[in-house]
Every structure is written in C-alpha cells, then in structure tokens.
Chains A and B, each alone.
Chain A
Amino acid sequence: MNNKKIYLFISIVLLSGLLSKTVFSEEVYLETRKAEIAKIPVTVVIAGDDQELKSAVRAILINDLERSLYFNLITINGIRLNGVPDRVNESMRAQLSSSGVEALVVAQVVRDRDKIRLEGRLYETGSGELIYSKKYAGNNNILRRIVHRFSDEIVFRMSGEKGIAQTRIAYVSDQTGRKELYIMDYDGYSPKMITGNRSINISPDWSPDGARISYTSYRDGNPDIYMVDLNTSRRSRLTDYSGLDISTSWSPDGRTIAFSTSRDGNAEIYTMDREGKNLKRITFATGEDVSPTWSPAGGEIAFTSDRGRSPQVYVMKADGTNARRLTFKGDYNSDPAWSPRGDRIAFACRRGGGFRICLINTDGSDLREITNGPGSDESPSWSPDGKWVVFASTRAGKSGIYVINADGGELIKLTGNVGNNQGPDWSPN
C-alpha cells in the first residue's frame, strides 16, 4: 500500500469538502416546512332548535379545531341527531367510517333566556363509542369561552396536548389616541382595554401562570415597569428609576423578571424579583442590550445587542455568563422570542427596507424566514403549543396583529380596529 498516495487523496477530499461547506454555508433556506403530523379527520355536528345559536357555535368550534392544527374537518351532509346518543348508531358509524372520519364531535346547544347550555360529546367512529362528554352552562356573553373550553377538551382527548383556544394575546393599541394595553382572545375576538391611564403603555409580557402582565408605562411621566394582576386589577410599579426601564421578560418559574434599563448610561439587562427588588446587572457590554427572553428551561436568556455594531441576537446564561452571538446573517436582527419547546428562537430580521419574522435553531443552524412582506413584520411571540407565531405587521398600511403558522403557512389577521396595534405577547395556556 502506498500511504503517500492515500494521504494525498484524503487531503484532496478534505479540501473539496471544506470548500463546498464554505460555499453552501451562505445559503438561506426560504422554503416553508409543512406540518409533518397527519391530521385526524373529524366531523362536527351541532344539534338544537335555535338556528342562529347553532351557526354561531359551529363557526367558533370549527375555527378552534382547525387552528389547533390537529384536525382535518370533513363535512358530511345528511347527518341528523335528535339529542345526544350514548353511542353512534351503526348506519351513521358506517357512513362516517366510509368517509374516512375517525372522530365525531357533537354539540347540543339550548338558549334559555339569557343563559346558554351546551352539551358536548366526542365519539370514536371506529367503535362508535363515546369517549368524552361534558355539560357546559353560562351567560350569553361567555358563549365563545364555553365553546373554546369544549374545543380544548377535544384537542386534549385526541392529541394529549393542551389546546390554545382559551389562550389570549396582550398587545398595544392606539385606537383611543393613546397607547393603551389590550387583551383579546387568541382568535382576535373580545378585545378588552386593561390600562386606560391616557398615557403611553408598551411591551406587555405575561407571567408564566397567566395571572399577571408586566409592562412599561409613562403614567407617572417616566418610562417605568409596572405589573397588573388580572384577577384583582391591582397595579403596582416595580421600578422608579429616572431613566428608561423597558422590555420585561418573566423567567419560566415566575420568580424573576429580566428587563432592560438605561441606568448605566447605555441600555443593559438586569434581573429583579417580581416585587421589583434584588436588582442584578447581568450584561456589561459597550452598546445597547435590550429585549431579553428566557429559555423555557430557565437556564438561558436571548437578547438583542449592538455590541458588535449591528444589532444582533445573542444568547447567555441567565446569570450573564458566556454571552455568545446567535445570528450572523443580515445587518439588523432583534426582538428574540424563545419557542415553548426551547429548540428555536423567533426574531425580527431586516431584509431590504422592512423586517421579516425569522426562525433559527438555538445552535445557530436552520435560519428561515416565515413571512415575506410587504411592509414590516415585528415583535414575534409564540403560541404556547409552539405551532403559531403572533406578530405586528404594517403589510396592510397601519400596524395590525397577525398570526402565522410556525412553518410559514396560514397567515391570519386578528385585529380589525382603526388604530395601530403592536407588540403582541401570547399568554400561556
């Protein structure tokens, strides 16, 4: 054997490998990733005498089931039910099975003056057996909430995962002329103002238990961090430094809040407890460090920094050690949001004149753009099931709140008001 020849051959292979790697590392993947999991074929039947109520319930339920991304809704004509049976009769079962339907959802709805009663049932069409049944009741004005609850139950029974139909989205809107905080349902319905101080209120962030929202407000003349308890509506001010305190992020255990402050000249990231005490500075860079977001495991914080001149996304330990840059493509990457599963980070990436929503793996691989304009797309936040990203976009002129599938499909506009709507943050479920 001639070792020299072999080594020469290996060297050539090596070199070509290195070169090709260098060339291809510049490539950016733009294609969208399609949902890999096969959807469960489901049919929905709404029973009852009140046609208006029936169609309202049908619309909400079908929308919820579709947005869970677990189901493929199949319409079958001619299925009639008088009340809710204990099991699906044989002829109906055969009809459903032959259409490939694996589960039947039945909701019987009754209006009793200003009260609504909904009896929800879920059947498996293979055996015809009832696998879930529950009665819901409430005032007319919580109809949507009742149906969302039923939908989440169906999702849980069929997939084992928590549904997102009862989640909400906090955001900033200037529809009254002032920037106030609002909360709406995940599907854009039932918006409700939660500040109303006729000042400027921005960057809401949900606590991990969904009971509180931290935000920045100018209500006392200076941008400070406040917290509102959604159960009691009690507000408290967490910081009162004369400079700028902004962009809060709750740690997953709900004990610590990371935020950005100008108290050291330029913006640095600090952590504090939820009473606003025990302040700890964790970044010390030349440049602005803003927009912290915690990893779901709680060990790391991603943030935006211009320590390397152009704003980029960095990752560090939650104690400030071992900061390292995550994004290298593009001259402006900001607003990181850590996915609930911990494997990806969404952020706003500048392309040309506007921003897009980009996703990247936490090891810096697999950069993808999931929106493509027009206008500018900013402030991404993940749905708690990790399947959707909510963001603010100027694609239709004024800034509105949109959701998009995390694989880049199914863009839906949530806000329909006349104002500018920004800075969305999705609640936990």
Chain B
Amino acid sequence: MKKLLFIVVLIFSVTGCAMQSEFVDLENEVNRMKVILLQTQRDVSTLQSKGDETAESDIQERFSKIESQSAGTIDMLQKNQADFEGRLTQLATDVQIIQGGVEENTHRLTELTESSDDHSAAIQEITRRLDNLETGKGGGNVQQDSTLIPAPPVTQAGQPPAQSNTARPSDSSMAAAAPSDLYNQAYKDYMAGNYDPAIEGFYNYLRQLPTGNLAPNALYWIGECYYSKGDYTRSVTVFESVTIDYPKSDKVSGALLKMGYGYEKLRNNDMARLYFKKVAEQFPYSQEASLAKVRLTEIK
C-alpha cells in the first residue's frame, strides 16, 4: 500500500517537473509573441503617422512575413499542448490502473483476513479448552467459565472493550457465531440503518477478537453508527479511538475527517478546522483531504 502510494507520488513529482518545464517553455513562447506583436503595432503607427503611401507595400510584405512566422509558432504551441494533454491522459490512466490494483489486492486481503480472524478465534477457543483440561482436569472449570458474560458495550464508547483483557468470549457466543459472521451481520445492520444492533454487533466482534484484522474497521463503523444516530459527541470520541488505537489503519484519514464533521455539528468550529487541517496535511492525496479542503473554505 505505502509502496504503491510512494510510486504514485514519485510518478506525479517526476512528471510534475516535466509539466513545469513545458509550462515555462509555453510561457516564454507567448511572451516572445507578445514582443513581436508590440513591435508590429509600433511599426504600423510610425508608418501611419508618416502617411507615406509608398511604404504600404513594404508594410504588407512585413505583415505577411509576420503572419507566416506566427502561424508556425502557433502550430508548434498547439502541438506542444496536444503532447502535454496526451501525457496527462496517460498519467491519469496509470493512476487508475494502480488504484484498481490496490482495490483488488485490498479486497483479497480482506477476504483472507476475515477467514484468518475466524481461525484465530477458533485457535483461541481450542487453546482455552486445552488449558482447562490441563489445569482443571475436570468439567467444573469449563462450566464456570461458560458463565462469563461480556461487558455491556454502549457505556464504553471510545474506550473499546477490545483493549480490555477482562472481557473474554463466553462458550455460548463462540459457538453461536464466527467473528466474520458477527462483523458481517453488524455491517448489514449498519447498512439497513439499524444502528443500535450494529453498534452492539461491532462491539461483540471487538470483544471476541480485540486484535482482529477488522478491529479498526469495526471501531470505525461504531463511530459512523453514532454519527448517523446524531450522537456526535460519542462519534467524535470513537473516531478518536480509531486514530489512537489503530494509528496505521487505512481508516485513520476517514476517522480524522469525521471528527472534523462531528465537531462542526457540535458547533465547535475551531476543533473542526484543526481536524480538517490534519487530514489535509497528513493525507494530502486522499479523497478525505479533498473533502476536508472544501470544509476549510466553507467553515466560518
């Protein structure tokens, strides 16, 4: 991901230099044309003031000469412009190809991480049972363990129970749903606008797999749920947790932007500006940065 971004930036900067020099060439050419035009105007006015009819043919000759000269220059300018546009199009295409590649790889990665999440949950469960067998040598402990109940989710907005070691999955919840099923169901609930069950589902996922690959996404969606519910205070806290707990996640730019939106809704424009600036500075080439820049120009 980062490598690709680096390559894109590199392409941009290298071709950016090329474009700069082309622009300078074009500018010089235009300036030269301006000088020629001024010279001609001056010549015309001098000749007119003289009223010398014999010079007319001379003027015409000079005009046609200049015309043919400038026609050549304009042709060249147009050609340069066409070349320039061609290169720009090629560049845009390259960026799209790279973007497509990134999307497809991310998709494959997500599919793999989902199943590896399920497998690590299964391993956790098996290990736990083994521990029980080895230490307890009996069913009593298992029975006791299965009564553990996950902590209530909603009260801990912003401090995901994911980070807590005390909340451990119970036997029943483990048997009921694989983490990826929990996550997908919560996502469906979010999409359908059922925000409360979605929040609960994502917190359940986080409790099962605190370090799961989709943990940052789950926390991000919890923030989105609160935001969609109009609970901006909670959404800001949760989005902040995304940036603190998962600083390397690709959800960070979105979380920062949504913090800005949240603060704007809470009429705290100073904080909103601060986060919009953060997005624009830390992720200058992202969609989020473009959206943040729009807000920065419109916010009062």
Give the B-binding residues of A (Cβ under 8 A).
1, 3, 6, 10, 14, 17-18, 21-22, 25, 280-287, 295-300, 306-310, 312, 317, 319-323, 325, 328, 341-343, 361-363, 365
Contact = CB atoms under 8 A, between A and B. Distances in A.
Query: Which range holds the interface residue count of chain B?
Result: 35 or more
Interface string B90-128: 001101110111111001000110011001000100100
Which of B101, B134, B193, B288 lies at the interface centre, i.e. has the most chain A CB atoms within 10 A of its CB? B193
Nearest to B257: A321
Contacts of B257: 321
List 5 tightest A-B contacts by C-beta distance, closest first.
A297-B193, A308-B100, A284-B290, A309-B100, A309-B96
A1 B92 CA distance: 60
Given A320-B291, A325-B107, A342-B191, A299 B100 contact: no
A361 B192 CA distance: 12
B226 interface: no
Contacts of A280: 294
B224 interface: yes
A342 B130 contact: no
Contacts of A343: 188, 191-192
Contacts of B100: 307-310
B227 to A, nearest CB: 9
21 contacts: A1-B134, A6-B130, A284-B290, A286-B92, A286-B99, A299-B191, A299-B228, A306-B96, A307-B99, A307-B100, A308-B99, A308-B104, A309-B100, A321-B258, A321-B291, A328-B107, A342-B193, A361-B188, A363-B184, A363-B187, A363-B191
Interface string B43-62: 00000000000000000000
Contacts of B184: 363, 365
Secondary structure class of chain B's binding surface, majority of residues: helix
A136 to B, nearest CB: 37
A363 B291 contact: no
A284 B293 CA distance: 11
B262 to A, nearest CB: 11
Contacts of A300: 191
Secondary structure class of chain A's binding surface, majority of residues: loop
Interface string B286-300: 011011001000000
B104 A328 contact: yes
Given A283-B287, A317-B224, 19 more contacts: A1-B130, A17-B119, A21-B112, A21-B115, A22-B112, A286-B99, A295-B193, A296-B193, A308-B99, A308-B104, A309-B99, A309-B100, A310-B100, A321-B254, A321-B291, A343-B188, A343-B192, A361-B188, A362-B187
B107 A284 contact: no
A343 B187 CA distance: 11
Contacts of B97: 309
A138 B283 CA distance: 65
B189 to A, nearest CB: 10
A223 to B, nearest CB: 23
A23 B115 CA distance: 13
Nearest to A266: B92
A281 B293 CA distance: 11
B261 interface: yes
Contacts of B119: 14, 17-18
B286 to A, nearest CB: 9
